[in-house]
Amino acid sequence: MRLEAVELRLVRLPLVRPFRSSSGTEETREAVLVRVETPTGEGWGECAASEEPRYSPEFNGAAWMVLRDLFAPRLLDAADVEAAGVGGLLAPWKGHRMAKAAIELAVLDAALRDEGVPLASYLGGTRASVVAGVAVGIPGSLGELLELVGEYVAAGYRRVKLKVEPGWDLEPVRAVRQAFGPDLLLQVDANGAYVLDDARHLQQLDEHGLLLLEQPLDEEDLVGHAELAARLTTPICLDEPIRSADGARAALALGACSIVNVKAGRVGGYLEARRVHDVCAAAGVPVWCGGMLETGIGRAANLALASLPGFTLPADLSATDRYFREDVTRRFVLEDGEIAVPSGPGTGVEVVRAALDSLTVRQEVLGR
């Protein structure tokens, strides 16, 4: 398949409500979208980076630059581009996994649309729908937290994830557990806000029957995570350190976690995400699909990934109205606690051009 053009768009979507974690507060979702044009059609991808490098070293300004100046020209110059070969073509450049994932997804989407194959089928998905969880940011008060959780539980979300940080952890977890009972699937995410010396404090989470404790320590501290895991009964889940299948294998060998959060952007694409899934499945380790406040393009691809058999825990893939009033694709809805996996070719969603144009703040086309 030959690429005739690559289009970059920066879109800005206002969030329904601000989302705060230990990494900072987001009031809008700014995303780089990638469209590739082929002789027979087009494909879309989305970069999971944010406006600023808080969650990861990657951010939209840098992603735009490497996509425009390095990745797109390389693929446009190639005589033949296959999705499985995108990683090799971009291998000379280190890092920038989220930008690589975006353009790989666009190529994969275009190829699968030509073939009439859904992304979920291509990846090996086995489910028609995915059990949906919801992530709750750090609010202004306990009262507001309980109101939000109540709203999401009433909507049908089957798992609730609370963002925590020092000073906002034991009390909110206790309050939610008391208010909603022991049957609510409840987990917490620290985004690396603690240190190993906090182990005794974190041990107090064990009494609340949490599904998991996600990323309590710094992403570089795998040894610390292994030591912490030995001191807690709550399972440790890793997020930020898992950047490849080899990284997942190393973390599991160290005993740094017993659950893995898989994010395609963070590991460099959906093909590598499938390899992470396979490593964990072989080790008998459950995985779940994390979200990055994606637009409908990224959400559709994440649902396809989360349909794989090893994704046995609820995903951070909520309905569209959890985040946005307007999106660049059709809206995803929650039905009986689950969201349907798109069944059309490629990602299975179509871009709504009017919405896309209204949300676009920057645009550039290469190759024409």
- So where are the chain's domains? 5-115+349-366, 121-340
Is 283 strand, coil or helix?
coil
The DSSP bridge partners found for residue 13 are 29
DSSP-derived secondary structure letter, 321: G
Q: Are 240 and 251 in contact (CB under 8 A)?
A: no
- The count of other CB atoms within 10 Å of the CB of residue 60 is 21
For 228-266, letters b (16+ CB in 10 Å) and e give: bbeebebbbbbbbbbbbbebbbebbeeebbbbbbbbbbb
Q: Which residues are tagged catalytic?
A: 163, 263
Instruction: Give pLDDT tens digits along the chain (368 positions).
Output: 999 999 999 999 999 988 877 677 788 999 999 999 999 999 999 999 999 998 899 999 999 999 999 999 999 999 899 989 999 999 999 999 999 999 999 999 999 999 999 999 999 999 999 999 999 999 989 999 999 999 999 999 999 999 999 999 999 999 999 999 999 999 999 999 999 999 999 999 999 999 999 999 999 999 999 999 999 999 999 999 999 999 999 999 999 999 999 999 999 999 999 999 999 999 999 999 999 999 999 999 999 999 999 999 999 999 999 999 999 999 999 999 999 999 999 999 999 999 999 999 999 999 96
Task: State which amino acid sits at residue 51.
Answer: E
What count of residues does the chain have?
A: 368
How many Cα atoms occupy the beta-carbon half-sphere of 113 within 13 Å?
Answer: 21
CATH number of 121-340: 3.20.20.120
Q: Taking the domain 5-115+349-366, which CATH number applies?
A: 3.30.390.10
